[in-house]
Amino acid sequence: MANVKPRVVVVGAGMAGLTAANKLHTSTHLKQLFELTVVEGGSRIGGRINSSEFCGDRIEQGATWIHGIEGSPLYKIAQEQNLLHSHRPWECMIGIDSGNPTTVAEGGHRLSPSTVHPISTLFKNLMNHMRGKSVDEDGDLISEIGKNCSDGENLSVGSFLRRGLEAYWGVSKGREGVEGVGNWSRKSIEEAIFAMHENIQRGYSSADDLTVLDYNAEREYADAIFPGEEITIARGYTSLVESLASVLPSGTIQLNRKVEKIEWQQSHEFGPVKLHFSDGTTLSADHVIVTVSLGVLKNGIHMFDPPLPISKNRAISKLGFGVVNKVFLQLPPHEQETKSPFLQMVFRQPNSELRHPKIPDWIRKTSLLYPIYTNSSVWVSWITGKNALEIESLEEAEIAKGFSTTTTNLLSSNSNSGKRFEFVKAMRTQWGSDPLFFGSYSFVAVGSSGDDMDVLAEPLNPQLQIMFAGEATHRRLYSTTHGAYFSGLREANRLLDYYNYRH
Ligand SMILES: Cc1cc2nc3c(=O)[nH]c(=O)nc-3n(C[C@H](O)[C@H](O)[C@H](O)COP(=O)(O)OP(=O)(O)OC[C@H]3O[C@@H](n4cnc5c(N)ncnc54)[C@H](O)[C@@H]3O)c2cc1C
């Protein structure tokens, strides 16, 4: 190695990049074994973690939850750094915890638990079966469907779920006492409630359509979810990455340094890697840890010179990476709902002639709408896939109008006495069109598998010139902040092992 002190450059100051930098620094700084730099294309750290403000409230534009606190390293950091308490309210989505949503259907029908519960339970049980978890009702039915499906090649989550619904209808034809609601037939309302759950699932996975989400990968993913409560971070998710970054000497993180090209070596004559930035400058390194999103890798086919090996490119193109955006909406303060409803929205299916003409199409696959904390005048909704991309180019006023019209229609039942919901302001995230992300998080698409994530995680050569971290490189914890964290740790440890610096 020409340089006495190996030069390590981490590309990206998101969770994976900052974890890698934090680990490399804290493991070696006493002896100053590395020359460490983090280059970030954007003007802030955090990447897909971005706490900000909307109408005076603290909101999360990206990562929102710690998914399970037991065993979560992020929860541990948040606890140690006292990030879980704040004198100001924050986006904590209290309604989700209540487990008592108000389900409203197009045309202004508040649905009773007796209508919603059987379909919600069926859906939950189908998901649990896929994930190898116990099923509390409909057990025989679900294991029958499962028998026909479990060995299926290229089976999707979406097709399994629909088989489940068909089978349910098959055995429940003569169910007594279950009628339609208003001008909804029993079957149409059940299908629409089922679709509402599918849409929630689309948001969890980021897949635009559940028929592209791999069935077999669900179990591996579910096995890796941490147990325990799911929480949000009172001081903002960004405070977590700030805490990781705070140990780095000033100047280590360079913002607004967008990498355009990474020149690396394939031959035995290993010269340094050369990074080319968008401003025309360059930087040489012995080791580069690339943490950019799968979306950036998919779009950045010319980023590597020479190009990435075929196996790596194949994994990049096969794996799924979808768009999920959040929409924040403001009600005038005097219109705050004292009961802070947590709304589940049920819409007419595409083939229905009874669709309300003023409800925009882009909202129809959106299921949830709720205040970010009890009595907040700021509400939030999550939009996935093509619709998420579509709203990125809409005026925010149009989005506020679309939500106002829709909510007014959904809540127009007698009990609400025709009250009009008027959101006065909207703000939506734009993860899909942002060239530093090109989407929100990854998933195992039909035709790919966790093996592709392992391929993505492999360094390009034994000399560890180019290494890869980031949520999409973790075969069990992809799509999460803790997946990104562990991937950063993995690559830092790989480098420390290479130099025998791990104790
Ligand atoms: C709307 C939304 C909600 C989410 N909700 C949750 C949640 O509730 N819980 C959860 O666990 N996870 C959630 N996630 C996912 C989570 O945010 C990500 O999995 C995680 O933050 C990814 O971290 P990362 O380091 O792998 O990638 P990133 O955060 O994308 O970091 C990569 C960094 O590289 C930079 N970069 C890109 N290109 C270049 C370039 N050419 N040159 C230099 N720098 C570059 C980017 O600016 C970025 O800072 C959510 C994500 C979104 C978008």
Q: Which residue has the CA at smallest separation from atom 5 of ligand 1?
A: 63
Same domain, yes or no: 421 and 338: yes
Long-range contacts of 494-497 (CB under 8 A, 24+ apart): 494/459, 494/464, 494/467, 495/8, 495/24, 495/287, 495/289, 495/464, 495/467, 496/23, 496/24, 496/27, 496/28
In the chain, the number of structural domains is: 2
Same domain, yes or no: 106 and 218: yes
Is the confidence at residue 416, as pLDDT, over 90?
no
Per the domain annotation, does 119 fall within a domain?
A: yes
Is the confidence at residue 340, as pLDDT, over 80?
no
- Find out whether the beta carbon of 440 lies less than 6 Å from any atom of ligand 1: yes
Per the domain annotation, does 82 fall within a domain?
A: no
Per the domain annotation, does 474 fall within a domain?
A: yes
Instruction: Provide the residue count of the chain.
Output: 503
Higher-confidence residue of 109 and 502: namely: 109
The whole-angstrom separation of Cα 47 and Cα 258 is 13
- Find out whether the beta carbon of 63 lies less than 6 Å from any atom of ligand 1: yes
The pLDDT, as a whole number, for residue 421 is 81
Give the confidence band of 336 by pLDDT, cuts at 50, 70, 90. low
- Find out whether the beta carbon of 74 lies less than 6 Å from any atom of ligand 1: no
Cα Rg of the chain (Å, integer): 24
- Find out whether the beta carbon of 471 lies less than 6 Å from any atom of ligand 1: yes
- Find out whether the beta carbon of 480 lies less than 6 Å from any atom of ligand 1: yes
- Helix 238-245, helix 15-28: angle, nearest 10: 30
The pLDDT, as a whole number, for residue 266 is 77
Q: Which residue has the CA at smallest separation from atom 39 of ligand 1?
A: 41
pLDDT in tens, 149-193: 655 567 999 999 999 999 999 887 556 556 789 999 999 999 999
Is the confidence at residue 338, as pLDDT, over 60?
no
Give the confidence band of 319 by pLDDT, cuts at 50, 70, 90. very high
191: domain CATH number?
A: 3.90.660.10
Q: Mean per-residue pLDDT for 414-419?
A: 58
The whole-angstrom separation of Cα 321 and Cα 445 is 9
Higher-confidence residue of 150 and 259: namely: 259
Q: Mean per-residue pLDDT for 246-258?
A: 97
Is residue 249 classed as helix, strand or coil in its secondary structure? coil
Same domain, yes or no: 163 and 221: yes
Q: Which residue has the CA at smallest separation from atom 14 of ligand 1?
A: 63
Is the confidence at residue 1, as pLDDT, over 50?
no
Q: Mean per-residue pLDDT for 493-498?
A: 97
Q: Mean per-residue pLDDT for 413-429?
A: 79
Q: Which residue has the CA at smallest separation from atom 50 of ligand 1?
A: 63
Is the confidence at residue 403, as pLDDT, over 70?
yes
Let me know: does 432 contact 325? Beta carbons within 8 Å. yes
Q: How far is the CA of 137 from the centre of ligand 1 (A)?
A: 38
Per the domain annotation, does 76 fall within a domain?
A: no
Let me know: does 287 contact 8? Beta carbons within 8 Å. yes
The whole-angstrom separation of Cα 385 and Cα 209 is 8
Q: Which residue has the CA at smallest separation from atom 12 of ligand 1?
A: 480
Ligand 1 atom nearest to 74, measured from its CA: 11
Three-state SS letters, 477-501: CCCCHHHHHHHHHHHHHHHHHHCCC
Ligand 1 atom nearest to 14, measured from its CA: 31
Same domain, yes or no: 198 and 341: yes
Q: Which residue has the CA at smallest separation from atom 13 of ligand 1?
A: 63
- Find out whether the beta carbon of 78 lies less than 6 Å from any atom of ligand 1: no
**Two tokens, residue 370:** 């709720």
The pLDDT, as a whole number, for residue 174 is 53
The pLDDT, as a whole number, for residue 173 is 59
Same domain, yes or no: 334 and 394: yes
**Two tokens, residue 349:** 């299916």
> Tell me, what amino acid is at 269?
E
Let me know: does 340 contact 95? Beta carbons within 8 Å. yes
- 20-34, 233-247, 380-394 — which is least confidently predicted? 20-34
Give the confidence band of 18 by pLDDT, cuts at 50, 70, 90. very high
Q: Which residue has the CA at smallest separation from atom 11 of ligand 1?
A: 480
pLDDT in tens, 107-131: 999 999 999 999 999 999 999 999 8
Q: How far is the CA of 389 from the centre of ligand 1 (A)?
A: 17
pLDDT in tens, 364-377: 999 999 999 988 89
Q: Which of 1, 17, 9 is nearest to 469 (CA)?
A: 17
- Find out whether the beta carbon of 164 lies less than 6 Å from any atom of ligand 1: no
Per the domain annotation, does 436 fall within a domain?
A: no
The whole-angstrom separation of Cα 16 and Cα 469 is 6
**388 is in which domain, residue-wise?**
94-226+322-428
Q: Mean per-residue pLDDT for 48-69?
A: 95
Q: Residue 250, Cα to own-chain centre: how many angstroms?
A: 31
Is the confidence at residue 417, as pLDDT, over 70?
no
Q: Identify the top-confidence range among 171-180, 218-227, 410-419, 462-471.
A: 462-471
Same domain, yes or no: 292 and 241: yes
Q: CA angle, corner 114, sides to 108 and 115, nearest 5?
A: 45
Is the confidence at residue 492, as pLDDT, over 90?
yes
Which of 428, 453, 474 is a domain's end point? 428
Which of 428, 457, 480 is a domain's end point? 428
Q: Mean per-residue pLDDT for 412-435?
A: 84
Same domain, yes or no: 99 and 189: yes
Burial group, residue 161, by CB count within 10 angstroms (0-12, 13-18, 19+): buried
Same domain, yes or no: 269 and 308: yes
Q: Which residue has the CA at smallest separation from atom 43 of ligand 1?
A: 41
Q: Which residue has the CA at smallest separation from atom 37 of ligand 1?
A: 436
Give the confidence band of 259 by pLDDT, cuts at 50, 70, 90. very high
Contacts of 383 (CB under 8 A, 6+ apart): 203, 324, 325, 326, 327, 362, 363, 365, 366, 391, 428
Let me know: does 466 contact 306? Beta carbons within 8 Å. no
The whole-angstrom separation of Cα 249 and Cα 227 is 35
Q: How far is the CA of 129 from the centre of ligand 1 (A)?
A: 30
Q: Which residue has the CA at smallest separation from atom 34 of ligand 1?
A: 12
The pLDDT, as a whole number, for residue 151 is 56
The whole-angstrom separation of Cα 441 and Cα 472 is 8
Q: Mean per-residue pLDDT for 39-44?
A: 98
- Find out whether the beta carbon of 490 lies less than 6 Å from any atom of ligand 1: no
Same domain, yes or no: 326 and 222: yes
Q: How far is the CA of 442 from the centre of ligand 1 (A)?
A: 10
Is the confidence at residue 95, as pLDDT, over 60?
no
| Residue of 241, 292, 429, 478 best suited for mutating to test ligand 1, as the one with most atoms within 8 Å of CB | 292
**Two tokens, residue 239:** 């405070």
Torsion-angle region of 475 (φ positive above 0: left; ψ -120 to 50: alpha; else: beta):
alpha
Same domain, yes or no: 216 and 343: yes
Same domain, yes or no: 151 and 123: yes
Same domain, yes or no: 266 and 145: no
- Find out whether the beta carbon of 437 lies less than 6 Å from any atom of ligand 1: yes
Per the domain annotation, does 480 fall within a domain?
A: yes
Per the domain annotation, does 62 fall within a domain?
A: no
Per the domain annotation, does 74 fall within a domain?
A: no
The pLDDT, as a whole number, for residue 497 is 96
303: domain CATH number?
A: 3.50.50.60
